Structure 1
Amino acid sequence: MQWRKLVYFIILIVALTGCDKNRIFEENQDIPNNSWQIRNVPQFSFTIQEPASTYNIYFNVRNAIFYEFYNLYLRAELLDPDGKPLDVKLHEMYLMDKTTGKPLGDGSGDIFDHQFLAIKNFKFPKAGTYTIRLKQYMRKDPLPGVMAVGIRVEKIIP
């Protein structure tokens, strides 16, 4: 009987913590062979139904401990539903401490996950399907040690 109570308790905890009402979209794409080629430009499409709301957009990065640099440059392009660029920027993200080389982010062993706020308090001009393209902008091609990249779109709830 005790194990049954434990199972119900675990299900309740998962149900309460598993809901993420702010998330509109989140997707990650694996990088083939954990080595990101410049010509490999992951693309993410998501639908905005409430353009009057404000949103934050995050980049997700998973890297292996053998990643050679402390930072990662990404060129991100946000396209509107008509395919026109709304926001094109070069982003620098720190995967390791510049001074010590200690890995940042969440991880154990030799794999680390990062989430970086890329676009803050953004208002989409209209409802529709938007696209974000991510391109690695480092001097090395291919770039070993990057395992996956992705985006997360959150609605800011006042």
Structure 2
Amino acid sequence: MHKATGIWAAILLLLSSCDPERVYEKNVELPESNWQIDNAPVFEFEIQDTTQLYDIFFNVRYNLQYDYYNLYLRHQLTGPDDNLVSSKLHEVLLMDSKTGKPLGDGSSDTYDLQIRALNDVKFSKKGTYELALTQYMRRDPLPHVQAVGIRVAKDSNKD
């Protein structure tokens, strides 16, 4: 295992163990920090409580050599019955468009950003859901994106 990968995994494990709202979180390293358009990671997670509202976050680990201030991602969420639940194109800002300052947490030239992508999602059926993430930039492969992932959490604003 690459040293940086191991450190990141350890940090996520530590943080996730302290997070009672987290239902699922997984990140996938991208080969050679290049995201191919045909490489659409699929994340599978279980939903048991259909009365709960959930938020879904995207995790992006990127290098400061990344050429753009934003990243376009498309998600496709399918339910336990293989029907499409939702699909949407998202613009994720990785850097401030005016100052160029990187967004997220990081040191040196690597940053981790977590953004809320879907709010107040209500899953109508119990079972396994799949969320696929595809990069929608006009470059293939897209360099300097090291990892992507998702986090599913109980909506903490539930009344």
Is TM-score (shorter-chain normalized) higher than 0.5? yes
How far is 1:104 from its partner?
1.0
How far is 1:23 from its partner?
0.3
1:106 aligns with 2:105: yes
Superposition pairs for residues 87-106 of structure 1, below 5 Å? 87-106=86-105
How far is 1:51 from its partner?
0.8
Superposition pairs for residues 132-147 of structure 1, below 5 Å? 132-147=131-146
1:61 aligns with 2:60: yes
Q: Secondary structure at the match of 1:77?
A: strand
Question: Residue in 2 aligned with 1:11?
Answer: none
Question: Residue in 1 aligned with 2:11?
Answer: none
CA distance in 2: counterparts of 1:28 and 1:18, whole angstroms: 16
CA distance in 2: counterparts of 1:97 and 1:24, whole angstroms: 30
CA distance in 1: counterparts of 2:17 and 2:84, whole angstroms: 34
Q: Secondary structure at the match of 1:39?
A: coil
How far is 1:146 from its partner?
0.3
CA distance in 2: counterparts of 1:90 and 1:19, whole angstroms: 31
How far is 1:144 from its partner?
0.3
Amino acid at match of 1:58: F
Structure 2-normalised TM-score? 0.87
Larger radius of gyration: 1
CA distance in 1: counterparts of 2:17 and 2:39, whole angstroms: 32
How far is 1:102 from its partner?
1.4
How far is 1:131 from its partner?
0.3
CA distance in 1: counterparts of 2:103 and 2:125, whole angstroms: 36
1:118 aligns with 2:103: no
Q: Secondary structure at the match of 1:125?
A: coil
Question: Residue in 2 aligned with 1:7?
Answer: none
CA distance in 2: counterparts of 1:145 and 1:101, whole angstroms: 16
How far is 1:18 from its partner?
4.3
Q: Secondary structure at the match of 1:21?
A: coil
Question: Residue in 2 aligned with 1:156?
Answer: 155
Stretches (4+) displaced over 3 A: none
Q: Which runs of 5+ in 2 are unaligned?
A: 1-13
Question: Residue in 1 aligned with 2:7?
Answer: none
Q: Which runs of 5+ in 1 are unaligned?
A: 1-14
Superposition pairs for residues 16-95 of structure 1, below 5 Å? 18-95=17-94
How far is 1:19 from its partner?
2.0
